[in-house]
Chain A
Amino acid sequence: MSAGSSAIGGSLRHAGGIGQRLTGAVLRWPASVRVAAAVLAVLVVGALASDVIAPLDDRAVDLDNVLAAPSWSYLLGTDEVGRDLLARVLHGVRISLAIAVFAALAAVVAGALVGVIAGTMGGKIDAVAMRATDVFASQNHFLLGILLLVLFRPALGGAGAIMLAVGLTHWPSLARIVRGELMSVRERPFVAAAVGGGAGRLRLARRHYVPHLMPAVGLAFVLTVPHAIFHESAYSFLGLGLEPHRASLGNILSDGQRSLLAGGWWIALFPGLAILLAAMTIGTLAEYWREHLHPRWRSELEL
């Protein structure tokens, strides 16, 4: 979120460099948003640095500490072959987050494409596209995703199949948003003015349609990421997603299920906690962004 997008950010726009503007924006954030941003930053930085931080080797096996409970030497404990759970969870966050971001991107691109085609072509193409959207939307995401995984995993591999499964199940809502926004913006006076001023299709798209659609598309992307994290972890947990040797959050949770009977609760607890934190922080930031974009939507019910 940049300072320029907020209402009072306008005066700050020329006040200083990007660092100052960012500080100004952060200072205006409510406490919950600041906490969410901080937690998410810690998660992301920890995940990105998980290869660099020397003591955190997710593949090093410590046979003296197999299925060890959390302690000072292993903050989150070890798994059933003596690997450091903290290192595995941080690697898992990285893998799961990377897959989720690309999966959400796939969904957004597909949805935007269908929405733009339906919204600009109109007529029969629009009708066909929207009926197809309805059919996809009426399907349960998870069930259809599993069918897609089975069909495409041998060819695309686990990560690719998950991106495809999430992309092909999550695009309909975005297609509807984009089509609706496109149809409404076309009727606005400023578009008529631009057309009157001799703007061509390309200029209309570049100067009016795209800038108008971007916030909604961006927000939809951010809101899809937690869904994608859930789908990745659920599919991998069931053994249908990422290959078992890759430490995604879902695969660690699947190890956790096996370790439960041996009392290894920490292996099931912490990767899930990472999913919960990622989903909550991203959700909080997205919600704040949405309130910024559409102040009218801000619920008066939040007493």
Chain B
Amino acid sequence: MLKLVARRLAMLPVILLAVATLTYALTEISPFDPVSAYVGAENDVSPERRAEIAHAWGFDQPVYERFGRWLWNMAHGDLGNSVVAGGQPVSSEIASRASASIVLVGGALALVLVGGLIFGVLAAAFRGTVFDWLVRTLCYFNTAAPSFWIGLLALYVFSIELGWLPAGGTSDPRAIDAGGVDLAHLVLPMIVLALTQYAWFVLFVRNTLLEVLREDHVQFARAQGIGEVAVLLRHALPNALIPFVTLVGTNLAELIGGTILVESIFGWPGLGLLALDAARSEDIPMIVAITLAASVLVVLGNLLADVLYRVMDPRVREATA
């Protein structure tokens, strides 16, 4: 187990290097000109001044030198300076905004797991009934409906019409850093973010559960006279949970991507909103840094899922031992 974790962690720098190379190559081959973005379209800046700016930023040096220095700086925690953060280092801005996103994604993940389990198990228990049909139909709608549209409708109904919840933002961004969670402001963004992945989890739990229910050991448990509820919860569910773990790993990436839309609708001051602000002001170092940070999280999430998989399933453990 430790060997596996160590091996996978050792892969992390390799994957990061690949992603860094990819993003750098994209910025390099794109016709995007950072100097023009910096001076703005309307400013009449002389070619000499442009050359000066390019020189000050090192754009007149060969690609490999710039790339090498960029990697070197990054390895030392220097991700460059950000335009949206008023010239502050990218890394410190990301650090100050991370907690809001962690609270949001963590809360949404918890909602998805609990809701997915409850409704998935219920749909499997009442398979073929109206309830099952209703759950599946709602999931079907859910997968096709764009998350930001659901967010807008929720915002209108619950904040503007009914006035039950605040329309967005947070009463105090610093309260999140201090560990205090602004629950009233968090409810809507959290639910909407959870809804982006919710249907997949419900359907996944239902379908795996129905598959497990047809296995021999479940039939055997039934033959022993064990009640249907106990069969479902004690004999079938633990087995259905094993593949569920890997789903969490893959869907974490989707949740992180989903924060951009959700945080923008509800004005939640996390990394998603930061990424959007950076995109709007063409702040490349910031977007690249957030892309890299997301990659690290996804790799770690998948690693965690793999480890849990092995802890939970002895068959996998023995096969790889």
CA A42 – CA B153 in complex, angstroms? 25
Chain A residue nearest to B297 in the complex (CB): A140
Summed over the interface, the residue pairs from A and B with CB atoms below 8 Å come to a total of: 135
Query: Which residues in window 148-162 of A have CB below 8 A to B?
Result: 148-152, 154-155
B residues near A263, Cβ cutoff 8 Å: 160
CA A42 – CA B280 in complex, angstroms? 36
Q: Is A268 an interface residue (CB 8 A)?
A: yes
Say yes or no: B287 contacts A150, CB within 8 Å. Answer: yes
Say yes or no: B18 contacts A256, CB within 8 Å. Answer: no
Q: Is A147 an interface residue (CB 8 A)?
A: yes
A residues near B146, Cβ cutoff 8 Å: 230, 233-234, 272, 275-276, 279
Chain A residue nearest to B302 in the complex (CB): A138
User: Closest CB of chain A to B153's CB: distance in Å?
Assistant: 7
Say yes or no: A301 contacts B211, CB within 8 Å. Answer: yes
Query: Which residues in window 107-141 of B have CB below 8 A to A?
Result: 127-128, 132, 140-141
Main SS at interface, chain A: helix
Say yes or no: A238 contacts B31, CB within 8 Å. Answer: no
B residues near A151, Cβ cutoff 8 Å: 26-27, 30, 32, 284
> What sequence of 0s and 1s flags, for each residue 142-179 of chain B, a beta carbon within 8 Å of any chain A beta carbon?
01111011001101100010000000000000000000
Other-chain contact of B149, A138, A261, A268 (Cβ < 8 Å):
A268
Say yes or no: A240 contacts B279, CB within 8 Å. Answer: yes
Range class of the A interface residue count:
35 or more
A residues near B143, Cβ cutoff 8 Å: 283
Main SS at interface, chain B: helix
A residues near B127, Cβ cutoff 8 Å: 303
> What sequence of 0s and 1s flags, for each residue 67-94 of chain B, a beta carbon within 8 Å of any chain A beta carbon?
0000000000000000000000000000
CA A149 – CA B156 in complex, angstroms? 29
CA A136 – CA B21 in complex, angstroms? 11
User: Closest CB of chain B to A241's CB: distance in Å?
Assistant: 11
Q: Which of B146, B287, B290, B295 has the most CB of A within 10 A?
A: B146
How many of chain B's residues have a CB under 8 angstroms from any CB in A? 53
> What sequence of 0s and 1s flags, for each residue 208-234 of chain A, a beta carbon within 8 Å of any chain B beta carbon?
000000000000000000100010011
Q: Which of B15, B140, B253, B265 has the most CB of A within 10 A?
A: B253
CA A238 – CA B278 in complex, angstroms? 12
CA A139 – CA B295 in complex, angstroms? 6
User: Closest CB of chain B to A165's CB: distance in Å?
Assistant: 11
B residues near A11, Cβ cutoff 8 Å: none
Query: Which residues in window 276-305 of B have CB below 8 A to A?
Result: 276, 279-280, 282, 284, 287-288, 290-291, 294-295, 298-299
CA A136 – CA B23 in complex, angstroms? 10
Q: Is A141 an interface residue (CB 8 A)?
A: yes
- 20 A-B pairs with CB atoms under 8 Å apart are A140-B294, A142-B257, A143-B275, A146-B279, A149-B279, A150-B284, A151-B26, A155-B31, A230-B146, A238-B260, A253-B148, A257-B152, A260-B156, A268-B153, A272-B145, A279-B144, A299-B207, A301-B210, A303-B127, A303-B132
8 nearest CB pairs, A to B: A272-B149, A151-B30, A142-B257, A140-B257, A155-B31, A279-B144, A303-B128, A280-B144
